[in-house]
Amino acid sequence: MKDKLNARNLVSALLVAGLLLLPLYSQASGNVFVLTLFTRIVILALAAVSLNLIMGYGGMMSFGHAAYLGIGGYAVGILAQEGFGSGFLQFPVALAASAIYALVIGALSLRTRGVYFIMITLAFAQMAYYVASGLARYGGDDGLTVYKRSDFGGLINLSSRTQFYYLCLACLLGVVFLIWRIVNSRFGMVVQGLRSNEARMQAIGFPATRYRLVCFVISGTMCGLAGAMLANNTDFVSPAVMYWTRSGDLMVMVILGGMGVLFGPVVGAVAYLLLEELLSQVTEYWALIMGPLLLLVVLFARGGIMGLLGRLNRG
């Protein structure tokens, strides 16, 4: 990302400013709902941003990214149920569990390419879904209620709406910053080179799978963080967060916002979830409007919203 004043950067900056100021608006207007809604949006934006790292920059079309939401969530939920309420334990465990899952799944599925990669990541996520459904001790199909949010001592109180919102936002912006550093680093150049032309990259001496796998693990760990947040947000975790439609939602957010653009998934998540919210207030058949809308974006706005803004800038 270059420090230029263009439509893309302007929209990104305005969006960040808006997200930062949102609690003030919520307080002034007494509209609590908007803060709750945007906490969820910020968390899912974090998941979408992490997916963008492998999908947009790495060219790995993972259709099982929601699995990490579940793994991060269940790590928090199960530890809470077993009496380990400290966030200093829950969050590291959530991240580590996601990383290990990503390492195993990645090592197996990165042997494949294209449609096969999509199908195998989907299959593993569905497996995780059914495993979670089978956890009778932890609610099985019905899910697991998290009676107490992660406890970070006196540092931050997750039960305070505003504090929790800012924590989520800080995580989102931190991860976006991290990804910005990564994609411009040597490692990021290799991963993007592999997306562009794998044979060429191997010919100049890069072991493709090794770099892809590390990228896959980083992305999964980031999404595990979103999962831990999500469980705290809803005070509940169930197999449904891992269902394949949730993975699809995340993909749609990335594509809608703009693949391989740093802030694309954030814009995509905000647009998608706000639209879903607004349309569902108008009609219960909101999906009937949402579907064609997404089709239009895919057909006429390749590169998503950020792609449109980029073209706007070029005139």
Partner 1 sequence: MADPLLRVENLVRRFGGIVATDHVSLDVAQGELHAIIGPNGAGKTTLISQLTGHLTPDSGSIYLGGRDISHLAAYRRSALGLARSFQITSLLLDFTVADNVALAAQAHAGHSFSFWRNARKESGLRMAAQAALERVGLAHRAGVLVSRLSHGEQRELELAVALATKPQLLLLDEPMAGLGVTESARMVKLLQELRKEVTIVLVEHDMDAVFALADRISVLVYGRVIASDVPSAIRQNEDVKRAYLGDQQVVTAHV
Task: Report the alpha-carbon distance of residue 285 to residue 106 in Å, rounded.
Answer: 37
Q: In whole angstroms, how close is the CB of 122 to partner 1 at the nearest point? A: 27
Nearer to partner 1 among residue 85 and residue 310 (C-beta):
310
Is residue 207 at the binding interface for partner 1, with CB under 8 A as the rule? Answer: yes
Is residue 103 at the binding interface for partner 1, with CB under 8 A as the rule? Answer: no
- DSSP helix/strand/coil, 8: helix
Is residue 49 at the binding interface for partner 1, with CB under 8 A as the rule? Answer: no
Quick one: which H or E segment has residue 144?
Answer: strand 144-145
Nearer to partner 1 among residue 130 and residue 177 (C-beta):
177
Binding mask 214-243 for partner 1 (x = CB under 8 A): x-----------------------------
Angle ∠(126,129,131) on CA atoms, nearest 5: 115
Both tokens of 253, joined, read: 């957010």
What is the DSSP annotation of 203-266?
A: HTT--HHHHHHHHHHHHHHHHHHHHHHHHHHHTEE-GGGGSHHHHHHHHHHHHHH-TT-TTHHH
Judged by CB under 8 A, the stretch of 113-121, 128-136, 186-194, 278-286 that binds partner 1 is: 186-194
Q: How many positions of this chain bind partner 1 (CB under 8 A)?
A: 25
Is residue 186 at the binding interface for partner 1, with CB under 8 A as the rule? Answer: yes
Is residue 192 at the binding interface for partner 1, with CB under 8 A as the rule? Answer: yes
Residue with tokens 């996601």: 98
Q: In whole angstroms, how close is the CB of 211 to partner 1 at the nearest point? A: 7
Task: Report the alpha-carbon distance of residue 159 to residue 232 in Å, rounded.
Answer: 9
Measured CA distances, 208 to 183, 197, 203 (Å)? 16, 10, 10
Q: In whole angstroms, how close is the CB of 178 to partner 1 at the nearest point? A: 8
Bridge partners, 237 (sequence order) = 144
Task: Report the alpha-carbon distance of residue 254 to residue 260 in Å, rounded.
Answer: 9
- DSSP helix/strand/coil, 237: strand
Pairing verdict, β 144-145 and 236-237:
antiparallel
Q: In whole angstroms, how close is the CB of 176 to partner 1 at the nearest point? A: 15
Nearer to partner 1 among residue 203 and residue 282 (C-beta):
203
Nearer to partner 1 among residue 193 and residue 310 (C-beta):
193
Judged by CB under 8 A, the stretch of 70-78, 208-216, 220-228, 235-243 that binds partner 1 is: 208-216
Task: Report the alpha-carbon distance of residue 21 to residue 15 in Å, rounded.
Answer: 10
Residues 153-182 that bind partner 1 (CB under 8 A): 181-182
**Type of residue numbered 201:** M
Quick one: which H or E segment has residue 236?
Answer: strand 236-237
Is residue 137 at the binding interface for partner 1, with CB under 8 A as the rule? Answer: no
Nearer to partner 1 among residue 204 and residue 282 (C-beta):
204
Is residue 58 at the binding interface for partner 1, with CB under 8 A as the rule? Answer: no
Is residue 3 at the binding interface for partner 1, with CB under 8 A as the rule? Answer: no
Distance of CA 233 to the CA centre of its chain: 15
**Type of residue numbered 101:** Y
- Of positions 190, 213, 256, 266, contacts partner 1 by CB under 8 A: 190
What is the contact surface with partner 1 in residues (CB under 8 A)? 181-182, 184-190, 192-193, 196-197, 199-208, 211, 214
